[in-house]
């Protein structure tokens, strides 16, 4: 591939804007589809009047092991920004375990060597088979191998899901897992669950939106502070009865015996954070590895441990310093090549998805390719439950985006609106409908400015979520209902395709939109963008949606 993109000779348009409606998929129009239920005249109009294809946004189309695997924002933005499909975290980890490469690594042996005498080996991570941030099978495989490799005491700190899996499915994982670790425990190796809590309450914050979550996780896992229970099942059952919350919102708990926590983290221990996805793994990694200048919260006690992540979560900052599996090397991204070609770029979102239009878009790379040509802007997110403020920061994002468009400084722009995903994850249909309507208002504002500037907008999504707010019966294809007749809320992503609309009244570029025969994935967007900017698609990238000329 030539280092500089070639002119296409078919005309060009500036500006070209990519709008990512995070979590907005295409699904059956029914009473649990918030995208369908919402009043969205702008989205409805462009989907009706403009060229549109349906993009694959899950499974092998985004580098995941199988088409039963939901897409997610991380891999979705990798594909959107790189124009290519790379083997992603879940697949990489599975391959490393199955081949034995993980257990032959220097990091694994370093961790195990540290605990063969009196130390404890700790595992912290999301406790489900959602396969978005982690997989419980990876944890089980490591536990079996750790015992075989001489670990004498193992403690597991479980972060309950209810987001990438059923919202109240925690006991479906805890009960068989307790049987599994009981079968591992014997005179040579003592294995126990030590602490836990909901993923949206402790430990798994991202983009430094709420360091208090990480602080609560530190107190729970490391210091053993918090409400004590005899077992994880007892904690989950008690909290559900008392609070009526779903798994992701369950408070922290500590497993104790005779009033003493069974698994605090001490000097000489080893710790593995076993999530493979990076965004919600970076802050806890920084907390373990932060030196005396760490200032996000008072850690009270900082044990001298050997710490490693499943992957290197930030390749530029090298967080963490030790990891078990090397992440995919994503090269030749759109941002890099546009910068090398002299194309000015603007990227914006609010905190919850800011890293997706920057870090993930650029192939898991922090920072810019060109300080001169690139501008990144983050609108601070509110720290409130998303269902209480479902419009989030979409109006503020749009205000700044319109300023950037009208400034004339930028040829290529991108924006992520988190509403459909973040509010969809709450399971509240009413709030998600409101989120979609708020987003649509902003879409109308943006399209009017695109017309004013004679530009082009590509309106798409990274995966589905708001389109399916209830669990679907696989046999009937209909939403599931609870015993009381209400719909069984779904808080996870979907397997549905996502829209990709080309909004173009400019007449600046001659092209035709290819027939949609199901061949396009998210990685087709990059080639389309550079074509509209007047360049040929690089050979490494996947097929563009348009034919020039």
Please confirm whether the linkage preceding 494 is cis (ω < 30° from 0).
Answer: no
Residue 379 backbone dihedrals phi, psi, to 5 degrees: -95, 120
Cα separation, 542 vs 525, whole angstroms: 9
Q: How many CB atoms lie within 10 A of CB 239?
A: 23
The closest alpha carbon to 498, from 471, 547, 458, belongs to: 458
Q: CA-CA distances (angstroms) from residue 203 to 67, 334, 385?
A: 30, 33, 16
Residue 330 near residue 293 (C-beta atoms within 8 A):
no
Instruction: Check 8, 73, 344, 349 and give the catalytic one.
Output: 73
Alpha-carbon distance of 530 to 519, in angstroms, equals: 19
Instruction: Decide if 529 contacts 18 (C-beta within 8 A).
Output: yes
**What pairs with residue 548 in β-bridges?**
511
CB atoms within 10 A of CB 172: 13
Alpha helix stretches (DSSP H) within 247-378: 282-289, 334-340, 351-355
CA 439/CA 446 separation, integer angstroms: 11
Contact between 134 and 179 (Cβ < 8 Å):
no
**E runs forming strands in 65-217:** 121-126, 153-160, 190-198
Distance CA 80, CA 359 (A): 12
Q: Which two tokens stand for residue 468?
A: 């399916």
User: Is 73 an annotated catalytic residue?
Assistant: yes
3-state secondary structure of 223: helix
d(CA 464, CA 432): 13
For residue 248, how far is the Cα from the chain centroid? 15
Measure the CA–CA gap between 379 and 354, rounded to whole angstroms.
8
Catalytic residues, by residue number, are: 73
């Amino acid at each position: 591939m030539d280092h500089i993109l070639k002119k296409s000779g078919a005309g060009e348009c500036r500006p070209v804007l990519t709008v990512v409606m995070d979590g907005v998929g295409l699904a059956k129009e029914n009473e649990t589809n918030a995208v369908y239920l919402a009043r969205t005249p702008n989205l409805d109009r462009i989907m009706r009047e403009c060229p549109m294809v349906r993009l694959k946004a899950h499974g092998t189309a985004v580098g995941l092991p199988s088409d039963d695997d939901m897409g997610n924002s991380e891999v979705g933005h990798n594909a959107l920004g790189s124009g290519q499909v790379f083997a992603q975290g879940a697949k990489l980890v599975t391959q490393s375990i199955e081949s034995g490469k993980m257990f032959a690594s220097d990091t694994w042996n370093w961790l195990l060597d540290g605990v063969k005498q009196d130390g404890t080996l700790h595992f912290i991570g999301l406790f489900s088979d959602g396969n978005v941030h982690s997989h419980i099978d990876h944890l089980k495989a490591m536990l079996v191998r750790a015992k075989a490799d001489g670990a004498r005491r193992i403690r597991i700190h479980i972060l309950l899901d209810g987001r990438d899996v059923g919202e109240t499915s925690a006991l479906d994982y805890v009960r068989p897992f307790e049987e599994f670790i009981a079968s591992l425990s014997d005179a040579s190796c003592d294995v126990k669950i030590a602490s836990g809590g909901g993923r949206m309450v402790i430990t798994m914050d991202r983009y430094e939106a709420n360091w208090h979550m990480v602080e609560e996780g530190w107190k729970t896992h490391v210091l053993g502070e918090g409400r004590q229970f005899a077992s994880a099942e007892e904690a989950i059952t008690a909290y559900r009865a008392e609070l009526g919350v779903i798994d992701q919102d369950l408070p922290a708990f500590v497993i104790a015996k005779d009033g003493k926590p069974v698994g605090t983290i001490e000097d000489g221990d080893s710790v593995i954070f076993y999530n493979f996805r990076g965004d919600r793994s970076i802050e806890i990694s920084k907390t373990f590895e932060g030196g005396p200048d760490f200032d996000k919260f008072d850690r009270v006690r900082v044990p001298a441990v050997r710490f490693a992540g499943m992957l290197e979560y930030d390749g530029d900052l090298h967080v963490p310093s030790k990891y078990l599996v090397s992440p995919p090397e994503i090269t030749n991204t759109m941002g890099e090549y546009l910068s090398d070609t002299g194309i000015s770029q603007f990227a914006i979102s609010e905190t919850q998805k800011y890293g997706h239009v920057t870090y993930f878009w650029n192939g898991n790379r922090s920072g810019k390719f060109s300080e001169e040509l690139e501008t990144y802007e983050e609108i601070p997110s509110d720290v409130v439950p998303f269902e209480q403020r479902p419009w989030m920061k979409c109006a503020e994002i749009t205000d700044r985006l319109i300023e950037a468009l009208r400034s004339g400084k930028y040829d290529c722009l991108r924006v992520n609106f988190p509403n459909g995903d973040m509010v969809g994850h709450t399971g509240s249909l009413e709030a998600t409908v409101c989120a979609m309507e708020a987003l649509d208002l902003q879409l109308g504002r943006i399209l009017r400015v695109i017309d004013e500037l004679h530009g082009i907008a590509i309106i798409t999504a990274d995966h589905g979520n708001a389109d399916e707010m209830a669990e679907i019966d696989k046999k009937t294809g209909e939403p599931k209902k609870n015993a009381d007749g209400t719909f069984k809320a779904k808080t996870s992503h979907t397997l549905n395709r996502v829209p990709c609309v080309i909004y173009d009244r400019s007449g600046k570029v001659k092209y035709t939109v290819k027939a949609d025969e199901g061949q396009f994935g998210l990685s087709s967007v990059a080639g389309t963008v550079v074509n509209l900017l007047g360049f040929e698609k690089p050979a490494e990238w996947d097929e563009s949606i348009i034919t020039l000329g």
